[in-house]
Amino acid sequence: MSRKKPPQIANGEQPANIDLPDDEFDEVDDASDASSSAQLSEFAPISLRLTDDAIGQRLDKVLSGLIPEFSRSRIQQWIEDGHVTVDGAPAKGKMTMLGDELVEVAPQSAPQDHAYGPEPMALDILHEDKSIIVLDKPPGLVVHPAAGNWSGTLLNGLLHHCPALANVPRAGIVHRLDKETSGLMVVAKTLAAQTDLVRQLQARSMKRQYLALVWGLPQLSGTVDAPMARHPRDRIKMAVSQSMTAKPAVTHYRRLATGMIDSKPVSLVHCRLETGRTHQIRVHLQSLGFPLVGDALYGKHHLVQVFPRQALQAARLGLVHPTSGKFRQWAAPLPQDIAELLARAGIDPALAVIPEMSDEPDPVTGDPDDDEY
């Protein structure tokens, strides 16, 4: 078989990898690798004259062997969408080749091919200097491109705001929040700053404190010291676990106020983490019998309609500035939707305040964090 010269996929030079906290970007690594074929402009058309080697084989199988730079699933999609012809006629996915056919392929880009490009976006930046950006992420914003969210992410907005972040791994992102969790994040603007912040995450000298509204009346204060692992049956969820794969997880909490929603008690809770496991606050409070209001994954399903997201806010962030070496901290204003939810519960939003943090290091437990809540 012969074919024209294949399209050249320009793999942009990638910055050196740094060791991010455990599991921090598990679900996006494959997407990141796939997107090395990103930033493509137009694919060149491909013309293939089949030979006897193709006799009796399905078209999609033949093409996946001839143009291995494209996945078979993508080729099948092109066939289905009419971007492949055989002897000038639209191809069919399961058609069997006889040999000597002229196959024309018009490659099409996939959404992930453009996932790592800049996009205009309003960012709520609380602080910015030559080394870091501290921003207040709104609910509903995905931090990093992944399956189902190849555009419109925080990463895309950061690349538009600061194009130089294209030279920093993951556009300077070192930790993330769930899509529906709002609040503070720090982004590194240089590789040196990112390396320093990652080390702070690993050493847990970076401090992050949260406000949550939960169903029920937990005791005034307490500590949940319960290892966590992937849920044994639902791989989307995390769970308190004693399995061999479970990692230490410690959450300190303090009840700030109580109220009622639809005649059911709710509590405003301040959470301080010793560890940063995936969904840690949501899982730990649910394990006590106090799920977050609005949490569709871990909460009470018949009460999900009360609030359209988990009532969780990354309210205060403290870190050692990677350039000055001084401890700095920021507080995020209470988002409007949570303020209205507290008012509905009869809780004064003015009570949703976390005092300034000490620059003394917090206690350290277990191994490095996962950093997703």
Catalytic annotation, residues? 178
Distance in angstroms between the alpha carbons of the first and the last residue of the chain: 52
In the structure encoding, which two tokens stand for residue 130, read together?
Answer: 């030559």
The CA distance from 158 to 162, in Å, is 6
Tokens 């555009």 -> residue: 151
| CA quadruple 124, 195, 172, 169: dihedral, nearest 10 | -170
Q: What is the CA radius of gyration of the chain?
A: 25
In the structure encoding, which two tokens stand for residue 241, read together?
Answer: 């676990």
The DSSP line for 12-36 is PPPPPP--PSTTTTGGGHHHHHHGG
What type of residue sits at position 158? L
The DSSP line for 175-196 is ----TT-EEEEEEESSHHHHHH
The CA distance from 370 to 53, in Å, is 50
Cβ atoms of 88 and 137 within 8 Å: the answer is no
